[in-house]
A and B are shown apart, each in its own frame.
Chain A
Amino acid sequence: MDQAIIIEKGIFIVAIFAITMLFAMYETLAERKIAAWLQDRIGPNRAGPGGILQPLADGLKLFSKEEFFPATQNRFLFICGPAISMITALMTSAVIPWGSSLNIMGRDVVLQATDINIGILYVFGVLSIGVYGIMIGGWASNNKFSLMGAMRAASQMISYEVAMGLSIIALTMMTQSLSLSDIAAGQHGWRWNVLYQPVGFLIFLVCSFAETNRTPFDLAECEAELIGGYHTEYSSMKMGFYLFAEYASMFISSTVLAVLYFGAYNYPGMDWVKDNAGANIASILGIGVLFIKICFFIFFYMWIRWTVPRFRYDQLMKLGWKMLIPLAIANIVVTGILILFFDNNLHL
Chain B
Amino acid sequence: MITIVFYILSAITLGTAFLTILSKNPIHSAIYLVLCFFSIAGHYLMFNAQFLAIVHIIVYSGAIMILMLFTIMLMNLNKEDERHKPILSRIAAVVSFCLVAFVLLATFIKAQPALREYKVSGQDYQSIQVLGKVLLNDYMVPFEFASVLLLVSMIGAVLLSKKEHINS
Contact = CB atoms under 8 A, between A and B. Distances in A.
Contacts of B63: 128, 158, 161
A178 B66 contact: no
B160 to A, nearest CB: 17
A151 interface: yes
A304 interface: no
A75 to B, nearest CB: 13
A151 B128 contact: no
Interface stretch (A20-28, A117-125, A235-243, A324-332): A117-125
B128 A117 contact: yes
Interface string A92-128: 0000000000000000000000001110011011011
A135 B70 CA distance: 8
Contact of A158 (B54, B57, B66, B127): B66
Contacts of A150: 73
Contacts of A147: 73
B15 interface: no
Interface residues of B, number: 20
Given A125-B62, A128-B63, A178 B73 contact: no
B128 A118 contact: yes
Interface residues of A, number: 25
Interface string B34-72: 100000000000000011001101100111001101100
A121 B61 CA distance: 14
A91 to B, nearest CB: 12
A135 B61 CA distance: 13
A39 interface: no
A150 B74 CA distance: 11
Contacts of B69: 135, 139, 154
A157 B66 CA distance: 10
Interface of A: 77, 116-118, 121-122, 124-125, 127-129, 131-132, 135-136, 139, 147, 150-151, 154-155, 157-158, 161, 178
11 contacts: A116-B50, A117-B50, A118-B50, A122-B54, A128-B57, A128-B58, A128-B62, A129-B62, A150-B73, A158-B66, A178-B128
